[in-house]
Chains A and B, each alone.
Chain A
Amino acid sequence: MSDFFTLTVLVAVVGSGVRLATPYLLAGLGETVGQKSGVLNLGIDGVMQLSAFSAYFVVLKTDNLMLGVLAGLAVGAVMGVFYGVITIVFKATQGISGIGIFIFGLGFSDLLFQRLVGTPKPIRQLPTIEIPFLSELPVVGEALFQHNPLTYVAFILVPVTILFLGKTTFGLNIRAVGENPHAADSLGVSVERTRYVAILIGNTMAGLAGVALVLELGIFQPNLTQGLGFIAVALVYFGSWRPSHVMAGALLYGLVNATVLQLKARNIIPLSFSELAAMAPAVLTIVALVILAQRVKGPAALTKPFIRH
């Protein structure tokens, strides 16, 4: 136990915690934007899997990481168009439609994988980029500034999302449409268009989360996400629809996860307990966020299709 609390180990835990938090953060931020507009998307886990497979497949065939990322983003966007048609054009019930998207993503990515790849082959992973100067700082340098590009992107997107939702005209439209679409409509703001764009942003970011996951692992397998997308949806609720809180949740989740992995690797947790310990991140994160979350009400029009009357 004593050798666990050395600086080297702690730095490694924080570093891998930040890395593990990345897909949760990307998916959670996207889901925040969507929910702020009043649209719940329970299907992001499925979107992540489809995007992860697309990125995997493109990198496998072309060995070009950039093309892989673009493929994952494109598939996310296409799924956004799809989800928009279901929820905005056909005004379907959002909860159940999202589950449908999840099952579709899970099954279709599996099918494509079996048909097009079959046996898992490793691909190139995202390179680690060391930020000049900052990465040389003692302790924090290694923990925070030696990551792959998508991790940096995810954390930069936190202030960007805060700014976007809080300070831009379009962000104001999104918030208004999620709270009282009729008010927005009466002022000439198109509820449908605003929600559509929010859904596109959310799904594209879910796609990016899938890409981050698969390019971090360097390999694809069926059900790669193992419910990660659902945790991300939960983070949005428990994070009271605030990007900074969603980030806190994602980080906590990543850090607990990294700690458990580290403890397991050092045989501090006996093998017989490892299954139980694997639950720790989810349990701890949810407990912490439930305690911390102020009783904030979500967007008033969340899950309610807009019908003019």
Chain B
Amino acid sequence: MGTSNTTKVLLEMRGITKRFPGVIANEDVDFDVRNGEVHTLLGENGAGKSTLMKIVFGLYQADEGEVLLRGEPIDIRSPSEAIAARIGMVHQHFMLVPPLTVAENVALGLSSSRRPFTDLAKVSTRISEISDAHGLAVDPSTEVWRLSVGERQRVEIIKALYRDAELLVLDEPTAVLTPQEVDDLFVILRRMVDDGRGLIFISHKLHEVMALSDRITVLRDGRVAGSTTPAEATRESLARMMVGREVRLTPHKGKVTVGDARLSIRNLTVIGDRGTPAVKNLSLDVLGGEILGIAGVSGNGQREFAEAVAGLRHTEPGGTITMDGADITTSSTRVRRNLGLAYVPEERMRDGVVAEFSVSENLVLVNHGSKEFTKRGLLATGAIRRRSTEMVKQFAVKTPTIDTPIASLSGGNIQKVVMARELSASPGVLLACQPTRGVDIGSAEYIHSRLIEQRERGAATLVVSEDLDEILGLADRIAVMYEGEIVAIIDSADAKREEIGLLMAGVLET
């Protein structure tokens, strides 16, 4: 197709407004994509990126504004109309059916040449052709549940290419990939753009946006906050556009002298949900005054490891967990907490808060039985209210009142409530899992500064995160977890992104 296409406008959205009861998701948004370019849509959670793309894909209808495809006004009312108009979408959460094969997943929704029967042989041949042409290796006859996350992503792209998508929307496609998989994906996407396709890339990872985009449009609170190019922008300037104020992307860390090990783990083996060991003979020390970051791709035993340390999962005989000299291997969560362990769980809505409870109730949840909050078996409402008002102020939680149900707060503010509660007891050991996942940049910045404070207080802090940037910014030492084992521990001063990425993928041996 070549360069002649690159000037053509493929998709144009003018003055798009979309309202939901009580919220304006998009307000007067202009956005366009040309053939042969990657146009990135950048913004915080809830900025309106996904809503805008769901309008493109026919999942929502705009209340106002118009959409033009290849210069013609178009009204896309359903995904099938979008597909017919050669629009493809790779959704943030994979739209795959795990028990079905790759070919069945691709064939789904297409008309068959052997009606009423499926024509999977033909589909498989075509998949192989597409795989070869675009470097998307995958076996059509494998069930999807057997595939790695990276392979599943390829299946999603093949689905779109099979339907001959000219415009491809990728909604946070890198969220679950290792750095190497991201690099591979970008090569594939570049090739697709060079073929003359137009790509909309949705992300909030700034260095990826800088690496892939031709143009960048930033959304904030449903409106366009600005448009730029990687050449004109810096990560800082993009963050500023997203949040609307100056943001410090790399947390500032003072010098701290580390102490003795406050959390010691020896030969820990933990059985996962599938009945096989998820954590294998793991040993680790976390020292007072340091942040130890655990890096790894999701599903390599981090969750089981954290749950075992928190006391939520049984450990196999032979392993020990020691905190400040006390053996807590088989202790209850209550005992662990009393010894000074604080836990910020990965699934904050499921394990961190009680969704139906108010902000205030959630803030005192762990300690509500303490002398401070319970008098003669009754909850001391006055003391609880006083204390939670203080905590809301201290942690800058944005909430209408302390009686507001926590579920109606944003992800960032819910996480601040969890942090406020967990840090209120000045823990000796803090275990924080995915502390800023789904959290806006502003809150993330705040949460990071609070984590660093713990370090200065002499606490041992263990941060488990799939966000490598977060680990690199926070940690003093980085432990890389792969298939249930710590494959390397690296001083963050010597840490190289690429090296950690390879370790996370299990490629590099140490």
Which A residues contact B (CB, under 8 angstroms)? Answer: 167-170, 172-173, 175-176, 179-180, 182-189, 300, 308
Q: Is the CB of B116 within 8 A of A180?
A: no
Residues of B within 8 A of A180 (CB): 95-98
Q: Is the CB of A187 within 8 A of B96?
A: no
A182 to B59 alpha-carbon distance, docked (Å)? 11
7 contacts between A and B (CB under 8 A): A168-B117, A172-B104, A172-B108, A179-B98, A183-B97, A186-B59, A187-B79
A165 to chain B, nearest CB (A): 11
B15 to chain A, nearest CB (A): 25
**Is B89 in the interface zone, CB < 8 Å from A?**
yes
CB-CB nearest in chain B for A184: B108
* Partner pick for B83 among A188, A300, A308, CB 8 A cutoff: A188
Residues of A within 8 A of B116 (CB): 168-170
Q: Is the interface of B mostly helix, strand, loop or mixed?
A: loop
Say whether, besides A169-B116, A187-B108, A189-B109, A175 and B89 are in contact (CB < 8 Å): no
Residues of B within 8 A of A168 (CB): 116-118
Say whether, besides A184-B108, A187-B159, A308 and B59 are in contact (CB < 8 Å): yes
CB-CB nearest in chain B for A179: B97
Residues of A within 8 A of B83 (CB): 187-188
**Is B8 in the interface zone, CB < 8 Å from A?**
no
Chain B, 78-115, CB within 8 A of any chain A CB: 78-81, 83, 89, 91, 93-100, 104-105, 107-112, 115
CB-CB nearest in chain A for B89: A186
Q: Is the CB of A186 within 8 A of B97?
A: no
Residues of B within 8 A of A169 (CB): 107, 111-112, 115-118
Say whether, besides A179-B97, A179-B100, A184 and B109 are in contact (CB < 8 Å): yes
Residues of B within 8 A of A308 (CB): 59
Residues of B within 8 A of A185 (CB): 79
A192 to B89 alpha-carbon distance, docked (Å)? 22
Residues of A within 8 A of B118 (CB): 167-169, 172
Q: Is the CB of B95 within 8 A of A187?
A: yes
Q: Is the CB of A173 within 8 A of B100?
A: no
Interface code B59-81, partner A: CB below 8 Å = 1, 0 otherwise? 10000000000000000001111
* Partner pick for A173 among B105, B108, B115, CB 8 A cutoff: B108
10 further contact pairs, Cβ within 8 A, besides A172-B118, A173-B108, A180-B96: A167-B118, A169-B117, A172-B100, A172-B107, A176-B97, A176-B100, A180-B95, A187-B109, A188-B80, A188-B109
Interface code B243-278, partner A: CB below 8 Å = 1, 0 otherwise? 000000000000000000000000000000000000
Residues of A within 8 A of B115 (CB): 169
Residues of A within 8 A of B109 (CB): 173, 184, 187-189
* Partner pick for B99 among A170, A179, A187, CB 8 A cutoff: A179
Residues of A within 8 A of B100 (CB): 172, 175-176, 179
A300 to B79 alpha-carbon distance, docked (Å)? 22
A146 to B112 alpha-carbon distance, docked (Å)? 40
Chain B, 321-370, CB within 8 A of any chain A CB: none
Q: Is the CB of A186 within 8 A of B95?
A: yes
Residues of B within 8 A of A175 (CB): 97, 99-100, 104
State how many residues of chain B have any CB contact under 8 Å with chain A: 30
CB-CB nearest in chain A for B159: A187
A186 to B97 alpha-carbon distance, docked (Å)? 12
CB-CB nearest in chain B for A181: B97
* Partner pick for A188 among B79, B94, B97, B107, CB 8 A cutoff: B79
A300 to B100 alpha-carbon distance, docked (Å)? 12
B106 to chain A, nearest CB (A): 9
CB-CB nearest in chain A for B114: A169
A141 to B127 alpha-carbon distance, docked (Å)? 49
Residues of B within 8 A of A183 (CB): 94-97, 105, 108
A183 to B115 alpha-carbon distance, docked (Å)? 22
The 7 A-B pairs with the shortest beta carbon distances in the complex, nearest first, are: A188-B80, A187-B109, A183-B95, A186-B95, A179-B97, A189-B109, A180-B97
CB-CB nearest in chain A for B57: A186
Residues of B within 8 A of A182 (CB): 93, 95
A172 to B79 alpha-carbon distance, docked (Å)? 18
A180 to B99 alpha-carbon distance, docked (Å)? 10
Residues of A within 8 A of B105 (CB): 183
Residues of B within 8 A of A172 (CB): 100, 104, 107-108, 118
Residues of B within 8 A of A173 (CB): 108-109
* Partner pick for B108 among A167, A176, A300, CB 8 A cutoff: A176
Residues of A within 8 A of B79 (CB): 185-188
A183 to B116 alpha-carbon distance, docked (Å)? 21
A254 to B97 alpha-carbon distance, docked (Å)? 36
A180 to chain B, nearest CB (A): 5
A184 to B118 alpha-carbon distance, docked (Å)? 16
CB-CB nearest in chain A for B94: A183
CB-CB nearest in chain B for A178: B97
A186 to B92 alpha-carbon distance, docked (Å)? 12
CB-CB nearest in chain B for A297: B99
B491 to chain A, nearest CB (A): 43
A224 to B78 alpha-carbon distance, docked (Å)? 47
Residues of B within 8 A of A186 (CB): 57, 59, 79, 89, 91, 95
A182 to B94 alpha-carbon distance, docked (Å)? 10
Residues of A within 8 A of B81 (CB): 188
Most chain A beta-carbon contacts within 10 A, residue among B91, B115, B116: B116
A187 to B94 alpha-carbon distance, docked (Å)? 12
A308 to B57 alpha-carbon distance, docked (Å)? 13
A153 to B96 alpha-carbon distance, docked (Å)? 36
Residues of B within 8 A of A167 (CB): 117-118
Residues of A within 8 A of B97 (CB): 175-176, 179-180, 183-184
CB-CB nearest in chain A for B163: A187
Most chain A beta-carbon contacts within 10 A, residue among B57, B80, B91: B80
Chain B, 109-162, CB within 8 A of any chain A CB: 109-112, 115-118, 159
B122 to chain A, nearest CB (A): 13
Say whether, besides A176-B97, A180-B97, A308-B59, A189 and B108 are in contact (CB < 8 Å): yes
Residues of A within 8 A of B91 (CB): 186
Residues of B within 8 A of A179 (CB): 97-100
Most chain B beta-carbon contacts within 10 A, residue among A176, A179, A184: A176
A176 to B93 alpha-carbon distance, docked (Å)? 16
Residues of A within 8 A of B98 (CB): 179-180, 300
A170 to B111 alpha-carbon distance, docked (Å)? 10
A4 to B416 alpha-carbon distance, docked (Å)? 76
A172 to B123 alpha-carbon distance, docked (Å)? 14
A184 to B97 alpha-carbon distance, docked (Å)? 8
A276 to chain B, nearest CB (A): 38
CB-CB nearest in chain B for A301: B97
Most chain A beta-carbon contacts within 10 A, residue among B83, B89, B99, B110: B99
A172 to B81 alpha-carbon distance, docked (Å)? 21
A308 to B95 alpha-carbon distance, docked (Å)? 13
CB-CB nearest in chain B for A180: B97
